[in-house]
């Protein structure tokens, strides 16, 4: 299973992802707007889609690279940026240099083995 996840993670930067193709909505055939309007929609969607995630520049670079390898995904939609982020995170592509983890460690009770 770990080898499969590693090969999926590696493939994300080489070819389109069938998992993302299924999880994300796609660019409509009748895309409207100027280049600048679409650029602003993408920028806004990225900010909204990753709101609450403390993502570093290296993580953004990975997310953008994967988005670029999947040109049919409608990156004007915040939910697609979320899906890309979750997929990268699930596959272990994002590490502590890419984002600040919000997970906190829950202290476990100490078990005294003398009893």
> Residue 98 is inside which H or E element, if any?
none
pLDDT reported for residue 8: 85
Query: What's the token pair of residue 107?
Result: 């202290």
Q: Which residues pair with 90 in a beta bridge?
A: none
DSSP state of 73: B
pLDDT in tens, 8-42: 888 999 999 999 999 999 999 999 999 999 999 99
CA nearest neighbour of 56 among 102, 103, 99: 99
Q: Tell me the pTM.
A: 0.81
pLDDT reported for residue 70: 97
Between CA 100 and CA 115 the distance in angstroms is 40
Domain boundaries, the chain: 2-95
pLDDT in tens, 56-95: 999 999 999 999 999 999 999 999 999 999 999 999 999 9
């Amino acid at each position: 299973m770990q080898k499969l996840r590693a090969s999926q993670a590696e493939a994300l930067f080489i070819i389109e992802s069938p998992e993302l193709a299924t999880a994300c909505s796609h660019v409509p055939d009748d895309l409207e707007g100027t280049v600048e309007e679409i650029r602003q929609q993408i920028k806004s969607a990225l900010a909204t889609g990753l709101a609450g995630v403390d993502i570093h520049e290296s993580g953004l670079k990975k997310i953008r690279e994967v988005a670029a390898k999947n040109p049919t995904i409608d990156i004007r939609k915040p939910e697609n940026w979320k899906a890309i982020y979750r997929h990268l995170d699930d596959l272990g592509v994002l590490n502590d240099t890419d984002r600040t983890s919000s997970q906190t460690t829950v202290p476990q009770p100490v078990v005294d083995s003398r009893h």
